[in-house]
Structure 1
Amino acid sequence: MEDSQFDQIYAIMKASFPIIERRTYEGAKELLSDPNYRLITEVEGNKIVAFLAVWEFPMFRFVEHIAVDPDVRGSGLGGKLMTAYMGESSKPILLEVEPPTTDIAERRVNFYTRLGFHLIDFDYIQPPLQIGQPDLPLKMMSYPHTLTEAAFSDCKDTLYTKVYKVNKTY
C-alpha cells in the first residue's frame, strides 16, 4: 500500500473515531505487516472514500474498524462494504460496539443488527490502543449467529493476544 493511500485511510479513521478507539498513525501503519490484518477500501475516482480494517483468523474474522469519509456518509456505502465482506466469509465475523446507552450507540447497534449481527451479552473490555489510554468497556456483536460463552472466550483470547498484544486477562 502506498503512503498516500494509507494517509487517506488514516484521515477517515481520525474523522470517524475518538482517540480512545484508534491507534496512533505509526501503530496503525505497523499493522500492515501483520499477515492476519487486511485493509479493504472503496475508491471513487482516485480517492478512498471508505474502508474496512479486518483481522482474519482460522476460526473467525474480526472487523476492527469500518468507516466512511464524512463527505459521503449516509449514502449506504458502509452497509454495502460490510455486506460484501460478510458475503465472502464462511467464518463467523465479530466486531466491537459501544454499549447501546446513547442514541448514536443504539443506532450503530441497530445498523449491525439489520445486517444480521447479534449483540453478545457477555462482558468485554477493549485493551488500550494507545499508551496512556484506559481500558474501554464495549460490547461484541457476531454474525451470522450469537456465540456460546466458551466460543466467545476463545475469540476474546485470540483478540487479546493477536490484535491487542496483551496477556492480561479481562
Structure 2
Amino acid sequence: MDKQSLISGMNFNEIFAIMEASFPVSEIRTYSGQQALLSNPNYRVYTEKDAEGRTLAFLAAWEFPALRFIEHIAVNPEIRGSGIGNKLMNSYLQCSDKPVLLEVEPPDGELERRRIGFYERLGFHLNPYSYVQPPLRAGQEDLPLRIMTYPRMATLQEFRKFRDILYTEVYQVAVRGGV
C-alpha cells in the first residue's frame, strides 16, 4: 500500500476512472470536486500499483483525531475478485489505532448484502442507526446509507459524534437532527 500525498495528474485520472467504474454518480463527487480534496490535509489516498506503476486499486480516507473514515475503496474492474481489495483494506486496518468507519447501502438487495458481508469478514459491524449521506453534487438528494464501524459496533453516543464529524468535516454541512 503506497500512501499518496501528492498524486500526479495521471495517477488521479486512473483513480477517478476506477471510481467512476465502481460507484453510482450519487456516491462520488465531480472530477474537479474530487481532485480538490487532494489539498485537504485530512484526506489521504492509498494505492496498490502493478510493476509498471499503474493503479490497480485505491482506498480514499479521511483521517481525524477521533476516527478514520473510508470514503471509497475500489479495484480496477478488470481484476476484481483477485483479493487486492481485501489486502488493501487489511493493510489500512492494521495501521489504525482509532475507530474506522465506512458507509454502505442498506442491506435491501443481494449485492448490498454481499458488500456488507465483505466488510463484516474484515471485522466491521453494521450499526442499526439511521443515517443519510448529504449530496456530493449539486441537485442531488440525501442518500440513505448505513454506517459500519471497526473494530466494534458504535454506541449511540459514539455514532452521533462520528456522524457529526462526517457532516461538518467531510460533507461540510450543518449537523442534522435524528438519531
* 1:94 Cα offset (Å): 0.2
What is the TM-score when the length of structure 2 is the normalising length? 0.94
Give the one of 104, 114, 118 matched to 2:111: 104
Q: Does residue 138 of the first structure (1) align with residue 160 of the second (2)?
A: no
* 1:46 Cα offset (Å): 1.8
Q: % of aligned pairs identical? A: 54
What is the TM-score when the length of structure 1 is the normalising length? 0.98
Separation of aligned partners in 2, 1:26 and 1:166: 19
Amino acid at match of 1:128: P
Separation of aligned partners in 1, 2:32 and 2:68: 23
Query: Which residue of 2 is the match for residue 60 of structure 1?
Result: 67
Query: Which residue of 1 is the match for residue 93 of structure 2?
Result: 86
Q: Does residue 15 of the first structure (1) align with residue 21 of the second (2)?
A: yes
* 1:81 Cα offset (Å): 0.2
Gaps spanning 5+ residues in structure 1: where? none
Aligned ranges 1:114-129 → 2 under 5 Å: 114-129=121-136
RMSD of aligned C-alpha atoms? 0.7
Q: Does residue 169 of the first structure (1) align with residue 163 of the second (2)?
A: no
In 1, are the aligned partners of 2:164 and 2:175 still within 8 Å (CA)?
Answer: no
Separation of aligned partners in 2, 1:79 and 1:124: 26
Number of equivalent positions:
170
Structure 1 segments of 4 or more deviating over 3 A? none
Give the one of 31, 39, 52 matched to 1:33: 39
